[in-house]
Amino acid sequence: MIETLLPEGARAREAFGPDGSAVLHPEEAALVATAPEERREEFTTVRGCARRAMADLGLPPAPVLPGRRNVPQWPAGVVGSMTHCTGYRAVVLARDTDLVAVGIDAEPDLPLRRGVLDFIALPGELTWARTPVPAAGRLCRDRLLFSAKEAVYKTWFPLVGTELDFEDARLSFRTDADSPRRGTFRAEVLRPGAGPDGRPVTGFEGRWLADRGLIVTAIAVPARVGAGSPGR
């Protein structure tokens, strides 16, 4: 599902249920030794996805440990992102010669809890999220906004290395002409930041999809564009 949102060069793996074949490295297992069963399952399954994506890139299996702000630490020369929610786990990896950053997020296609939308949305976003959607394209716009902002943060932080709050990115959305349940989004970053090459990072472009009771968002910044320009 998520691979349809990604450019050439990205490798995506996903699971819609527990992966009984996934095995944790000892240092990973230690992180969830006392966690509830559900947490251990999602942690294990998403790392099984990561190992398969590594194999797709011709890499040996390696542990995926959390770094600063719990950002996954990938093998040298690799950029990536992972996500998990009820009924879904996914990982996207790429060589840093193909992409300089990637961020993905998945959420259930259900309304946000009361009060969350007001907390995450700028005024224009709030109006958009509360605008009725035609029946053919029915989806929870508030959840789509939340997911896209999560994808923005997951792209921004590994690239720039600074915090980004919900109000620091202004998002706008478009729906594909041939499908009311998929489209693109644009994120304008309102807080100054620069990529590794020193050029300003001012925004990102991403894609979204609503299917199988899920909302999935993805941002990929091509290496040929560079850190100072928005990605696909």
Measure the N-to-C terminal CA separation of the chain; round to a whole number of Å.
Answer: 17
pLDDT tens digits, 6-23: 999 999 999 999 998 999
pLDDT of residue 143: 97
- Residue 227's pLDDT band, with cuts at 50, 70 and 90, is very low
Please tell me the distance from the alpha carbon of residue 93 to that of residue 156, in angstroms, as a whole number: 16
Angle at 206 between CA 111 and CA 204, to 5 degrees: 115
pLDDT tens digits, 126-175: 999 999 888 767 899 999 999 999 999 999 999 999 999 999 999 999 99
Mean pLDDT of 95-122: 96
Full set of structural domains in the chain with CATH: 2-222 (3.90.470.20)
Q: Exposed e or buried b for every residue in 77-87, given b needs 16+ CB within 10 A?
A: ebbbbbbbbee
pLDDT tens digits, 30-65: 999 999 999 999 999 999 999 999 999 999 999 999
Please tell me the distance from the alpha carbon of residue 101 to that of residue 94, in angstroms, as a whole number: 9
- Residue 225's pLDDT band, with cuts at 50, 70 and 90, is low
Strands 169-175 and 72-73, sheet pairing: unpaired
Q: Which residues contact 30 (CB under 8 A, 6 or more apart)?
A: none
Phi-psi region of 115 (alpha: psi -120 to 50; beta: other; left: phi over 0): left
Q: What percent of the chain is modeled with pLDDT above 90? A: 86
